[in-house]
Amino acid sequence: MNRFSYIRTRRLAAGLLLFGLLIPGLLAQEKFRRTPPYPDPLPALVLPAVNSEYLGNGLRVVTISRANNPVFNLMVLIQVGESDSPPELAGLATVTAQVLPRGTATVSPGEVEERLALLGIEYSVEVQADYTIFSFIFLAENLEPALELISLFFVEPAFPALELSAVKREYYYQLLRRHQDPETAGYNFFLKRIFSGSGYNPGVLDEELIKNISARDAAQFHQRYMRPNNSTIIFNGQITLAEASRQAAQNFRRWVPRPVERKTVSRLNNRDFDQVCLLDIPGNEAAIITGNLTGSISSPDYFPLLVLNHIMGGTTGSRLFINLREIKGLAFYAFSDLSFFRENGLFWVRAKTAPPAIPETIAGINSIMRSLAEERIEPEELERAKAYLMGNLPLQLQSPENLSQRIGLLDLFQLPPDFWSRYLQNIMPVNSELVREVARKYLAARPLVIIVADASRALDYLKDFDKIDVYNRKGQFQAVFQKGVLRYENR
């Protein structure tokens, strides 16, 4: 071997060695890309400190301490809602709440609007069946003048005639539009049917009845139900309880307490509905709403129900969506949901499809519900649902308004103060048996089925149903469809 070839051989060997050392290194480096990484340990969910006390007039003051945030959320939560409106004036709670921030006894509507804008206050009003929420968001530096203005809405509302008319007009057109949307119309009709005969209005409004509401009705409703002793004011930001109470007392002391008597709500049981309704609304597509009653949010079934709902139809990865849309191509979408009211809860499925696919879509939904009640859920599916619920809660609490609302509603739904901070611990022990147990309890009976479609297009495809009650878009009974024959009846 001459010197050159020796050197060459050594270089080659060195090169090969380097190559040999580097390649496995590179391959090892890329190996981590092949599979998802293991998560870091699950962090504890520590919510901001919550403190509360009552003022002399019964107003509950709650503070949620969030340090170092220039944006402040102030929320007034009143335990009154649409279920408290008289049946002949459905919508009274909504209209009253919407008019409150539109002028007071001492500040004209225009000036209120100007002052809200001057202080950079954004607000929203939400009226549900059981509660009303006024949420204000603004810069923390404006807290004092903001509170001074906001308190007037509750202490000395004026219900100006022009503003009341404007609110009624806005709602009238909004409701007309909403009732043309098949899914919204279907859900409202579903709620009405589920609670029919119970004397409880789950928050369904009627555009025709809204027209009849007068300023006097609104003023009386405010006098009777919107009192400090059934209200909570939540200060969410950098403030102490003592300071919040001082400011609340200073501004809300003129808000006079009165005994508030709300109608009692009876607990309704999950039952066999054996009813299919067709709501006749023009359109090319059909919506299906189906569901039944469950226990309330405070019942021990709540956490297994959450898991069950997620497996059934909580997201695009759940059974309804995968089965009905991705695999069978029957529906444009299919999801399930849970809604909770005082004393009651319900699960409901919503799907959108084409009229020819209505029977198969309903059969598909029923089959998924049956399998959940009868078959064992695979551990992987169960754990995935739990991981979603546990991981998603902190995301839901990110917005100050959401956090305030969840804290504020604990009292109304008779939930313990640590309900949200113990949420993860309560989801963790939910097992396959518990889920199947609630599935048997709530999914086994025949659910109420609402089909929303253009009757002239859809009925041809619905001949195989035993009987369908047909209603017009206002929810008035029209006819019975049986064995392919439409028979008009007076009820």
CB of 177 to other proteins, least distance (A): 12
Is 7 one of the binding residues for other proteins (CB under 8 A)?
no
Is 329 one of the binding residues for other proteins (CB under 8 A)?
no
Choice between 141 and 156, CB closer to other proteins: 141
Query: Residues 84 to 143: which contact other proteins by CB under 8 A?
Result: 113-114, 117-120, 122, 137-139, 142
Is 37 one of the binding residues for other proteins (CB under 8 A)?
yes
Print the binding letters for residues 394-413 with other proteins: x by CB under 8 A, - otherwise: xx-xxx--------------
Query: Residues 374 to 393: which contact other proteins by CB under 8 A?
Result: 384, 387-393
Choice between 30 and 88, CB closer to other proteins: 30
Is 359 one of the binding residues for other proteins (CB under 8 A)?
no
Query: Residues 425 to 464: which contact other proteins by CB under 8 A?
Result: none
Residue pair 444/377 in contact by the 8 Å Cβ criterion: no
Residues 6+ apart with CB under 8 A from 224: 258, 260
CB of 363 to other proteins, least distance (A): 27
Choice between 4 and 32, CB closer to other proteins: 32
Choice between 326 and 375, CB closer to other proteins: 326
Whole-angstrom distance, CA of residue 234 vs CA of residue 75: 5
Residue 358 CA, distance from chain mean position: 26
Is 282 one of the binding residues for other proteins (CB under 8 A)?
no
Nearest to 53 by CA among 45, 44, 62: 62
Which of 5, 69, 223, 414 contacts other proteins by CB under 8 A?
69
Choice between 122 and 433, CB closer to other proteins: 122
CB of 20 to other proteins, least distance (A): 19
Choice between 102 and 342, CB closer to other proteins: 102
> CA distances (Å), 215 to each of 99, 105, 154, 164, 220, in order?
10, 14, 15, 7, 9
Residues in contact with other proteins by the rule CB under 8 A: 29-30, 32-45, 48, 66-71, 113-114, 117-120, 122, 137-139, 142, 315-317, 384, 387-395, 397-399
